[in-house]
Structure 1
Amino acid sequence: MAEGSRQHPLLLYVAAGAFLSFIVYTRLNLYLARRRIIKENGCKPCPYVYNKDPFLGLDVLFENIKRAKAHTFLEATLDRLNSFGTNKVNTFHTKLINYPVILTIEPENVKTILSLKFKDYSFGNRQKGFAPLLGHGIFNSDGERWANSRHLLRPNFAREQVADLSMLERHFRFLIKAVPKDGSTIDLQDLFFRMTIDTATEFLFNHSTESLRMVGHPEDDSNEDTQFAKAFQFAQADAMVSIRFGPLNGLRNHKQGDEAIRICHEYVDKWVDEAVRYREAQDVEKAAGAGKEERYVFIHELAKQTKDKKRIREELINILLAGRDTTASLLSNMFNMISRKPEIWQKLREEVEGLNGRTPSYEELRNFKYLKWCMNESLRLHPVVPGNSRLAIRDTVLPRGGGPDGTFPLFVSKGTLIAYSQYATHRRQDFFGADAEEYRPERWEHLRPGWEYLPFNGGPRICLGQQYALTEAGYVTVRMVQQFQKLECRDQGPWFESLTLTCASKNGALVGLTPAAA
């Protein structure tokens, strides 16, 4: 017994020593491997750190929450970049609870993250925050699942689908009916969000929410289509709050957000069930030799490619988010800015005069240069997706951000969150001029930007629906310009952000409109 007792602690010491040796060995190997990467790439450390709390970064978390409530969350990034004194800083370190964070507004870094070293990064915890609403659709998945989603959806954004302007015109006529003709104040942002959910649901489900029909009819505001539109808006805002709270999100009350998501899912599931039944019936008819040529319907095409109802629902909600919010946000921000500069409205009217009042074709829309400049400038000054992030899933390197002047490569350890701000990058004077804070469409006459201008993401994940969004925004703008000879601003305050998963105007687009002479 005594001999056995002596051997027992000895074995424990040996095991503990072996375990400690393993830890030291792996740590040493990791250290040497990282030193090798740093040396081979000429990396230098970034000396700029934005944190008063170096342990948990709670100061940044609470500041983010405070700035979000004040509708100045986007400006916080600019303030942080400018907080390092006279140095021009485009990359800095910070910490957010359990994540080391690098924030950058260097186009070469963004190009590296989104394209050149695409496989070195994932979405990280962002997926968890968005998953209750978006599931694992194209905007909230990585790797093979994302590749499959893109392959599934890409054919549905062919030009012949995107260029269906007759559908846009039908909904635009309801928008026009809701605009007062006596020049009294109207919030166009509300109408734009109604129109884009109406067109997006018709494009996706073959059934429109027709929320524009409800303008002025509050007694009809409780139908399931309207309730879905409201729930969809709330669910997005709640998802964004989840992301900002990060690891502390579990402390929030999720009851209202969960109910909004339930409404959204039940609404979409109804159309998914109908589409799957339709496809099954079509398959039976074709097998019997009685098939006929079908009109294109997005949801029917998805049901043709997969019968997984949950998968169809997730992809539809992801595309609905992009189809509705990006276009409405673009229109709202643009009209907010244009209403402050009457000369821009006049130039747009002159550009479309050649149509003589008729609706434009798809090719004509694409050829209106000044219209394109106006949309580009809005997407520059107020990008609809104003910031994003990626999580490093292996040790890697960014080409810029190291050293006091930020011109050297910067080592990025596995587990680091890289945040990048299009909002701040699009305001860099070295790219867009000394008046980069001003809305001036004419700057696009000679601008040919690269990765410093990123309104629709870039690399393999570049937005599939950007032509859909630009076509609808351009069409609505042309038709508004044809219908109204004068656009007046009724909002004398500065622009403030309204952030959900996209960025609109907090004050909307308050304007007065004078109808054009018949």
Structure 2
Amino acid sequence: MPVQGKHHPLVLYLAAGAFFSYILYTRLNLYLTRQRIKRENGCQPCPHHFNKDPILGIDVLRFNIRNARNKTVLESNWNRFKRFGSWTFHSRIMTMPIIVTVEPENVKTILSLKFKDYSFGARTKAFTPLLGQGIFNSDGERWAKSRHLLRPNFVREQLADLDAFERHFKLMLKWIPRDGATVDLQELFFRLTIDTATEFLFNHSTNSLRMIGQEQTLNEDVIFSKAFTFAQADVLTRTRIGFLDRFRKNKEGKEAIRICHEYVDKWVDDAVRWREESDAERKIGGEKNEERYVFIHELAKQTNDKKRIRDELMNVLLAGRDTTASLLSNMFFELSKNPNIWAKLRAEVGELDGRTPSYEELRNLKYLKWCLNESLRLHPVVPGNGRFAIRDTVLPLGGGPKGTHPLFIPRGTLVTYSPYGMHRRTDYFGNDSLEYKPERWEHLRPGWEYLPFNGGPRICLGQQYALTEASYVTCRLVQEFQKVESRDVDGIWKESLTLTACSANGTLVSLTPA
């Protein structure tokens, strides 16, 4: 008589056999399916591998940490492509297979043609504590709703209002020495752009330019500015260390995020209250009209979900401050070393006869546009990006000895692309691709090989806002100063790589008044 509660060994053997048969079947089926995909698409393996450790890629991790410490991440990555003689290579960090590419057709496939084959992957988890589920940190339906919510707020009418730029520019101007002394324009640009961005978004500016020299003052705007800068740097730390982040106590990072959220929540509460008052007035036959456009009020008209409004504001603020400030800093680093280019800008802007430019006049300053384009080419403010394959898929290039065959991408692969490297390819931008040369844009009409604001469905909504502000500030500085000279000791641009890229040494210059 069998003992109650015990299974006969034959039953256990059958169960184990069934389990292993199932595993074997699924593995074999996956293998055959992938072989079929490779065969149908003519895929060949990527022959170039940047990792000697085939299991965990510890050597790659160490190499990246060393480059980050030496501020050579971008240059080292670019040199790797040149050493391999191919525009796509394979790597690995821990259990994550990685494909790195500077092929425009591959980037086009990732961001547009096979957009739905990719997601953000682990990046979302690193960004969520600060940014929540806003437009830059969401996929799928949530992202589509965010884009639908924000798109109306970046139409021409809002971008053409240059009065705020002028007010904050005049504040910045007070801190630029007129006696030829050295000034770090990069620090001023970052203050300027957070001041203009917060006014545009919240209808209240941090006014950090007014607070220079008063940073010890317990002012909520100053506290927020510092917390936002720290919280953003902490996002990058979480991204780099991945799953190890759970072992950090990180009290300072959590406190910075709390300060940022509480600051923004106050303006969200005011906006929702404004909407409720407007709705109440409308019901009794009145109408609450605003004197000017206010971004946060427009969001409140579309939703009363306070967290959602806050998430979208945090996302747009992150992009609105850093991209524009980095663009201006990188461009003036180059302009200060090229007096001939500055002279050409002065000649073009001189056609305004000293008056502040209108939106249409800014758009017609052709050489200024070339200077901005060239800065975004040589020093793209977002120099690298990536997507996580959520299903088996194929890239058009990267396979075979010369990288000219399609490349199979298994589900679970991180595919990264480097605008920094792509913008340096001599076959697209000439043998002088490492030079800052605005004149190349007279006849240059690039496609996917030039990617300053991403591309495809997720192309940056705020690119015209950023370009308008950068154009306006540059135009006004050209009007105010007849000469700009570099005071950078090294004379060579070195990367400061956070979520954007700017000069590690700042933008040290002297300016001579006009």
The amino acid that maps onto 2:485 is E
**Root-mean-square deviation over aligned CA pairs:** 1.4
State the distance in 2 between where 1:5 and 1:353 align.
94
| Superposed displacement of residue 230, structure 1 | 1.4
1:187-198 pair list within 5 angstroms: 187-198=184-195
- In structure 2, the CA distance between the partners of 1:500 and 1:6, relative to structure 1 (3 Å rule), is closer
Is 1:231 equivalent to 2:232 in the alignment? no
Is 1:350 equivalent to 2:336 in the alignment? no
For the 8 Å contact 1:97–1:247, the answer to whether it is kept is no
Query: What secondary structure sits across from 2:210 in the alignment?
Result: helix
For the 8 Å contact 1:52–1:59, the answer to whether it is kept is yes
Is 1:270 equivalent to 2:282 in the alignment? no
State the distance in 1 between where 2:489 and 2:446 align.
32
Query: Match of 1:508?
Result: 506
Deviations 1:169-198 (A, max 9, x none): 111110111111101000001111111100
State the distance in 1 between where 2:205 and 2:394 align.
47
- In structure 2, the CA distance between the partners of 1:20 and 1:349, relative to structure 1 (3 Å rule), is same
State the distance in 1 between where 2:40 and 2:151 align.
39
For the 8 Å contact 2:487–2:508, the answer to whether it is kept is yes
| Superposed displacement of residue 248, structure 1 | 2.5
| Superposed displacement of residue 65, structure 1 | 1.8
State the distance in 1 between where 2:247 and 2:432 align.
43
The amino acid that maps onto 1:508 is G
Query: Match of 1:242?
Result: 238
Q: Which moved more, 1:58-67 or 1:33-42?
A: 58-67
For the 8 Å contact 2:234–2:253, the answer to whether it is kept is yes
State the distance in 1 between where 2:5 and 2:466 align.
76
State the distance in 1 between where 2:135 and 2:300 align.
16
| Superposed displacement of residue 498, structure 1 | 1.1
- In structure 2, the CA distance between the partners of 1:6 and 1:478, relative to structure 1 (3 Å rule), is closer
For the 8 Å contact 2:349–2:475, the answer to whether it is kept is yes
State the distance in 1 between where 2:120 and 2:489 align.
39
Report how many residues are paired: 512
For the 8 Å contact 2:215–2:222, the answer to whether it is kept is no
The amino acid that maps onto 2:257 is I
Query: Match of 1:12?
Result: 12
Is 1:56 equivalent to 2:56 in the alignment? yes
For the 8 Å contact 2:336–2:486, the answer to whether it is kept is yes
State the distance in 1 between where 2:357 and 2:333 align.
24
1:39-78 pair list within 5 angstroms: 39-78=39-78
Query: Match of 2:132?
Result: 135
State the distance in 1 between where 2:7 and 2:275 align.
72
**Match of residue 474, structure 2, among 477, 484, 487:** 477
Query: What secondary structure sits across from 2:205 in the alignment?
Result: coil
State the distance in 2 between where 1:154 and 1:223 align.
33
| Superposed displacement of residue 121, structure 1 | 0.2
| Superposed displacement of residue 2, structure 1 | 4.5
Query: What secondary structure sits across from 1:488 in the alignment?
Result: strand
State the distance in 2 between where 1:240 and 1:76 align.
19
| Superposed displacement of residue 98, structure 1 | 2.0
| Superposed displacement of residue 231, structure 1 | 1.3
Is 1:257 equivalent to 2:288 in the alignment? no
| Superposed displacement of residue 253, structure 1 | 4.6
| Superposed displacement of residue 100, structure 1 | 0.5
The amino acid that maps onto 1:64 is N
Query: Match of 2:147?
Result: 150
Is 1:208 equivalent to 2:226 in the alignment? no
State the distance in 2 between where 1:286 and 1:98 align.
58
State the distance in 1 between where 2:76 and 2:244 align.
21
Q: Which moved more, 1:235-244 or 1:506-515?
A: 235-244
For the 8 Å contact 1:61–1:245, the answer to whether it is kept is no
State the distance in 2 between where 1:72 and 1:135 align.
31
For the 8 Å contact 1:107–1:452, the answer to whether it is kept is yes
Deviations 1:255-279 (A, max 9, x none): 2221211111111111111111111
Query: What secondary structure sits across from 2:180 in the alignment?
Result: coil
- In structure 2, the CA distance between the partners of 1:190 and 1:360, relative to structure 1 (3 Å rule), is same
Q: Flag as ranges the 4+ runs of structure 1 deviating above 6 A.
A: 3-7
| Superposed displacement of residue 252, structure 1 | 3.8
**Match of residue 441, structure 2, among 432, 441, 444:** 444
For the 8 Å contact 1:339–1:487, the answer to whether it is kept is yes
Query: Match of 2:326?
Result: 329
The amino acid that maps onto 1:515 is P
Query: Match of 1:498?
Result: 496
The amino acid that maps onto 1:111 is K
Query: What secondary structure sits across from 2:386 in the alignment?
Result: strand
1:114-193 pair list within 5 angstroms: 114-193=111-190
| Superposed displacement of residue 155, structure 1 | 0.3
State the distance in 2 between where 1:218 and 1:26 align.
61
| Superposed displacement of residue 438, structure 1 | 1.2
The amino acid that maps onto 1:375 is L
1:342-381 pair list within 5 angstroms: 342-381=339-378
For the 8 Å contact 1:389–1:418, the answer to whether it is kept is yes
- In structure 2, the CA distance between the partners of 1:253 and 1:423, relative to structure 1 (3 Å rule), is farther
Query: What secondary structure sits across from 1:352 in the alignment?
Result: helix
Q: Normalising by structure 2, what TM-score? A: 0.97
State the distance in 2 between where 1:250 and 1:65 align.
19
| Superposed displacement of residue 216, structure 1 | 4.0
State the distance in 2 between where 1:509 and 1:297 align.
32
Is 1:33 equivalent to 2:29 in the alignment? no
Query: Match of 2:410?
Result: 413
| Overall identity of the aligned pairs, in % | 69
| Superposed displacement of residue 234, structure 1 | 1.4
The amino acid that maps onto 1:242 is R
Query: What secondary structure sits across from 1:485 in the alignment?
Result: strand
Deviations 1:311-368 (A, max 9, x none): 1111000000111111000000000111011111110000011111000111111111
Query: What secondary structure sits across from 1:414 in the alignment?
Result: coil
Deviations 1:450-496 (A, max 9, x none): 00000000000000000000000000000000000010100031111
| Superposed displacement of residue 120, structure 1 | 0.2
For the 8 Å contact 1:193–1:325, the answer to whether it is kept is yes
| Superposed displacement of residue 74, structure 1 | 1.2
The amino acid that maps onto 1:499 is L
Query: What secondary structure sits across from 1:383 in the alignment?
Result: coil
| Superposed displacement of residue 200, structure 1 | 0.3
State the distance in 1 between where 2:21 and 2:104 align.
43
- In structure 2, the CA distance between the partners of 1:21 and 1:345, relative to structure 1 (3 Å rule), is same
1:95-106 pair list within 5 angstroms: 95-106=92-103
Deviations 1:5-42 (A, max 9, x none): 99721111111111111111111111111111101100
State the distance in 1 between where 2:181 and 2:2 align.
98
The amino acid that maps onto 1:305 is Q
The amino acid that maps onto 2:18 is A
State the distance in 1 between where 2:424 and 2:460 align.
22
| Superposed displacement of residue 427, structure 1 | 0.8
State the distance in 1 between where 2:71 and 2:133 align.
29
State the distance in 2 between where 1:252 and 1:432 align.
44
| Superposed displacement of residue 72, structure 1 | 1.3
Q: Which moved more, 1:8-17 or 1:398-407?
A: 8-17
1:107-118 pair list within 5 angstroms: 107-118=104-115
For the 8 Å contact 1:490–1:510, the answer to whether it is kept is yes
Query: What secondary structure sits across from 1:397 in the alignment?
Result: strand
